[in-house]
Amino acid sequence: MDHPKTAKEFLTARYGKEQQWQPDKWNDTLEVIYRHRSVRRWLDKPISTDTIRTIVAAAQSAPSSSNKQYISVVAVRDPALKDEIAKVARQMFPHIREAGVVLVWCIDITRAKFLAAADDAKTGAFDYLDEAAIGFMDAGIASQTAALAAESMGLGTVHIGAVRNDAARMQEILNLPETVVPVIGLSLGHPDPSEPAGIKPRLPQELVLSWDSYQAPTQELFDDYNQALDHYFSRYGQHQLWTKQLVARLAAKATEKTNRQFLRKVMEKAGFGLR
């Protein structure tokens, strides 16, 4: 089902099979959300400055924990800088190099430290893990809100978690101070309609949604998902089963082959105690 039009068709695409429930109401916002797919091929068309500002304003409209607003974003349009980011991201070169703009979302406590210094105030809260968690959470919320805004405007998006392959190098590329830590990239562009990609199935809701108390997973549900995802990828060639892929990615070597293993040091240099 490449071009769903109804709520039922969108749900079928999202879960890989027909669902036994339907939304009570359906609207354009839900369609934008359900239609999401990662775009990895772009047309050679620029994105205007005002469009980028509109998307960032949408991201700033998202919630921020205690209104601390521990985020900043760098909009990268310079081809040379995109090349450097692509080197950090390794296998994701085309997604970055050919995008109209790459938004790099960062945890940023520079403003907070500036204001505290001006008042000669203590910043003991930064000794604790929760303050870092707020930054990661806010960056994720902002980047996803930006993606939805962009997609509602007809643009394509793909998140680039690989900017964390070497956070210290990303700081150098973007001239970030130690108190600004890159968390996630978001490539934006005009989608190439020839790209053969559709709505990728997600885990069955029975594995994600519990009612009142936690529901433990079952192998049968994982098998169902493997089958749904295998059917999706059969259009593009062979693909490893999702369960096997996830377990493989949990191995320590998956992190050790990049500089993600040093992210804690970057966070500590930024001023987080992580206790």
| Distance between CA atoms of residues 121 and 75, nearest Å | 32
Q: Which of 1-5, 68-72, 173-177 has the lowest mean pLDDT?
A: 1-5
pLDDT higher than 60, residue 241:
yes
Give the residue with greater pLDDT, 1 vs 14: 14
Q: What is the mean pLDDT of the chain?
A: 94
pLDDT higher than 90, residue 152:
yes
Q: Which of 68-72, 241-245, 256-260 has the lowest mean pLDDT?
A: 256-260
Fold of 37-196: NADH Oxidase (3.40.109)
Residue-range domain boundaries for the chain: 37-196
pTM: 0.94
How big is the CA angle at 34 (ends 138 and 15), to the nearest 5 degrees? Answer: 110
- Whole-number pLDDT of residue 1: 45
pLDDT higher than 80, residue 64:
yes
- Whole-number pLDDT of residue 249: 85
Residues 214-239 pLDDT 10s: 999 999 999 999 999 998 888 777 67
- Whole-number pLDDT of residue 114: 96
Q: Is residue 91 helix, strand or coil?
A: helix
| Residue closest to 108 by CA, chosen among 57, 162, 68 | 68
Residues 196-218 pLDDT 10s: 888 999 999 999 999 999 999 99
* Ordered alpha helix ranges (H), the chain: 7-15, 28-35, 49-60, 79-89, 93-97, 110-118, 129-152, 167-173, 219-233, 242-249, 252-256, 263-270
* pLDDT band with cut points at 50, 70 and 90 for residue 257: confident
pLDDT higher than 80, residue 252:
no
- Whole-number pLDDT of residue 41: 92
- Whole-number pLDDT of residue 196: 81
Sequence-ordered list of residues with C-beta below 8 angstroms from that of 151, at least 6 positions apart, any chain = 32, 35, 36, 157
Average pLDDT rounded to a whole number, residues 65-69: 95
* pLDDT band with cut points at 50, 70 and 90 for residue 2: low
- Whole-number pLDDT of residue 234: 85
pLDDT higher than 50, residue 251:
yes
pLDDT higher than 70, residue 93:
yes
Place of tokens 């990049």: 258
pLDDT higher than 50, residue 139:
yes
Share of the chain above pLDDT 70, in %: 98
pLDDT higher than 60, residue 271:
yes
